[in-house]
Amino acid sequence: MKSNVDPAPAAPPTEKGANRREEILDAASALLLEEGYASFSARGVAARAGLRLSHVQYYFASPASILAELLERFVRRYGDEIMIRFGSAGGSGEERLYRSLDFLLNDEAYRRDCGIFMIEVAGFAARNEVIAAALARYYEIYFELFSGIVKTLNPSLSPRARARRARQCVALVEGMSMTRPHMGPKGETDFSAREATRAIMRLVSGE
């Protein structure tokens, strides 16, 4: 990755262009998951997608720009999944939070993808401005998501307190998501989600 700053994408905003970008991103995601960051390249993505290298370069100026868009797509997709579970009807706020965290901490696809992005890709952020900006945006979206959850659970919190609690929630969940789920005292496989739910409810209530 030679350049640290990418120009704006050249792809036209057409349905065909959007579909081609998604096709490239799907191939890039599969390549990254299977071979890791060390083997990631635009040429490899093109081969995986069955496209010419020039086609990939038309939509993405560099491998870093592909990774940056993958990172944002990742957090938005999973953010939507989390909010669907949190916003679904039925149950108390704590039960809704548990449904979200059970998915976040125990879904194998999420855990796999999170490991790739936060270990393989995030480590490159210190050396590449494009990845660094994408990583900052990743956390901005993540914090916004948890800020909305915290506000729902405790509307009385001030904006400043809510932001602080949201950051604590993100740190807590990220730490737990990077470890394997463990069994509870009665053999529950979702014990980590229950622990996280209790901890976040204490944070939100100010305990």
Q: Which of 61, 79, 102 is the last residue of a domain?
A: 61
Which pLDDT value is given to residue 1? 43
Instruction: Look at residues 207, 177, 178, 171 and name the one whose alpha carbon lies nearest to residue 193.
Output: 177
Q: Is residue 2 part of a domain?
A: no
Which pLDDT value is given to residue 178? 64
CATH code for position 114? 1.10.357.10
Which pLDDT value is given to residue 207? 56
Burial of 13 (0-12, 13-18, 19+ CB in 10 A): exposed
- Give, for 92, the enclosing helix (H) or strand (E): none
Expressed as residue numbers, the domain containing 23 is 9-61
Q: Which of 27, 44, 61 is the last residue of a domain?
A: 61
pLDDT < 70 stretches in the chain: 1-13, 89, 120, 178-191, 207
77 plus 154 within the same structural domain: yes
131 plus 34 within the same structural domain: no
Q: Read off the pTM.
A: 0.75
